[in-house]
Amino acid sequence: FQACVYFASVFQAMSCGIHYLASVFMAVTPNFVCGFPGNVSSILFHNSSASSIQDMWTLWTSTDNYVIVQLENGEIWELNQCSRSKREVSLDLAYEYKGNKSVFPCSDGFLYDDTKWKSTVVTQWDLVCDREWLAKLIQPTFMLGVLIGAVIFGDIADRLGRQRVIWFTSAGQFVFGIAVAFTFDYYSFVIVRFLLAMVSSGYLVVAFVYVTEFVGIKARTWASMHVHAFFAMGIMIVALVGFLVRTWWVYQIFLSIATIPFILCCWMLPETPFWLLSEEKYEDAQKVINTMARWNKVNTPCKVSELYSVQQDDLVSGRTGENDTSSTKKHNILDLFCNWQIARRTITVWLIWFTGSLGYYVFSLSSVSLGGNEYLNLFLIGAVELPCYIIACVAMDKLGRRNTLIPFLILSALICVLIMFIPQDFNILIILANMAGKFSIGVAFGLIYLYTAELYPTIVRSLAVGSGSMMCRVGSVVAPFCVYLRSVWIFMPLLLVGIMALLSGILTTMLPETLGKPLTNTLMEATEMGRNKKSCSGKTPPAHSGAALEKIEMFGQETISTET
């Protein structure tokens, strides 16, 4: 039963990977020049002449190039990317000209190279020259929607249940995904994409919690890590569909219908017993447990009434041992900075979250600009994630969380430096190095989820992972702007990622190892884990004991608030 629920849920995670990276081909800017005011009789580019502008694109090598056209009325025009010049003296058609010229804006539109892409959103709405900044906002605004969607739908899932949010966000991905293809202008396109980002992010966050609440504790680490693997498969689908479909709105439709099978069956997914129990819907929880037992051929399913009675007894005994004021104390973000030891840990963890997200999207978004076949590049950047999560699961159980995180962060920094020294005509070597960089940052990025949960006590664990996840979203918003810095210096994005990864790796050496250690319940215990005896101010609620605690730890130690 759990296997069916798991694979059905993570199948839709591919749709999240699809929409997150769809813009790499949908919003590409091809070669272009200003349009000309009339009918053309001849065209000249350097020493080559042709009757059609499309014949010139194979010779185009730089944005500084320009095309000479002669109109039927005898006028000769120089067509640049963002301006055009009319020669005052039109004696003969020559590429070099030293006479007077009159400069005009591109009032007749632009001519685009359609040899690779028949249509993109850039060519659809002329997002070039003084409107280029609009094209560069497409991915950042999407990532802003990802940030907001994670917060909104995470909170809604805690209030209304995981099942309803999964239904809504799944249907929303399909509806908004199709709607994007039929937007009538740039602003409606950005707004619908923003809504698509919100539901995609909402699904990914809630699905992560949904599967961890269903999967048994022995398989939970592997299951939660490989939600990211299905996201990576979505990136591979983007590369495949981009190769086959070169018109942006058709491309968007094909990407959106890739997960129709899940839309048709998602209504069959049940609510998680843990949420039902938290809402005191014991009869509904018992029905789900009975269904699980029937599927798994278990003759004696768990009785909710027995579990509830044990938990109530332990809660009562816990309250009698402490003052009621201690159990009602509410915790906030400031508790993550209650002393130097915890504050340093929080800053380091936030930096790792930010760096992991920044590096992940910089390597992914930059893959289409590495040279060679951009479709193959993106496919390989997605494919390299599949083994990286297997390596991460094995390494963090054998070597430890910190001892896995440190070398892979430093390795990603070294790879960023190495890429800077590879000659630009060594395309294969550059692509392999970028794959290695994505692999190493992917291991760190996947590992930090579990490591953060283990570094903090129960009373602030949700806050810790939630705040770290927020830093992750900030990194994803910054990543597109970081990629745009290639126009300043081609290695600037790699330099920034390398510096952040190196700094994160060094600071990680000061974090405690959590492998094989029990989860902490109080801030004092968490501080002592870091070999600092200074405790945090204020009392902490007593840890529950007995059979109920064992069951809660077994089923819920990684099942944190979906606000993360």
* CB neighbourhood size of 216 (10 A): 10
The domain defined by 1-28+118-269 carries CATH number 1.20.1250.20: yes
CA 271 to chain centre: 26
DSSP string for residues in 127-194? --GGGHHHHHTHHHHHHHHHHHHHHHHHHHHHHH-HHHHHHHHHHHHHHHHHHHHT--SHHHHHHHHH
Q: Please list the rounded mean pLDDT of every run of 10 residues in the chain (564 residues).
A: 88 90 91 84 76 74 78 84 83 76 87 89 92 92 90 80 88 94 94 95 84 76 82 93 93 90 81 82 86 84 67 49 47 80 90 94 89 89 90 87 93 94 88 93 86 80 78 90 89 94 94 82 79 42 38 38 38
Do 1-28+118-269 and 336-529 share a fold?
A: yes
Name the 3-class secondary structure at 272.
coil
Quote the tokens at residue 108: 């007749």
Residue 251's pLDDT is 94
pLDDT at 524: 85
What CATH class does 336-529 carry? Answer: mainly alpha
> Length of the chain in residues, anyone?
564
Q: Distance (Å, rounded) from C-alpha 62 to C-alpha 47?
A: 16
Tell me what pLDDT residue 309 has: 58
| 105 vs 34: CA distance, rounded Å | 8
DSSP reduced 3-state for 73? coil
H/E stretch holding 67 reads: strand 67-71
Model pLDDT, residue 552: 37
Q: Where exactly are the structural domains of the chain?
A: 1-28+118-269, 32-115, 336-529
Distance CA 383, CA 507 (A): 30
For residues 196 and 198, what is the distance between their CA atoms, to the nearest angstrom? Answer: 5
The confidence score (pLDDT) of residue 337 equals 85
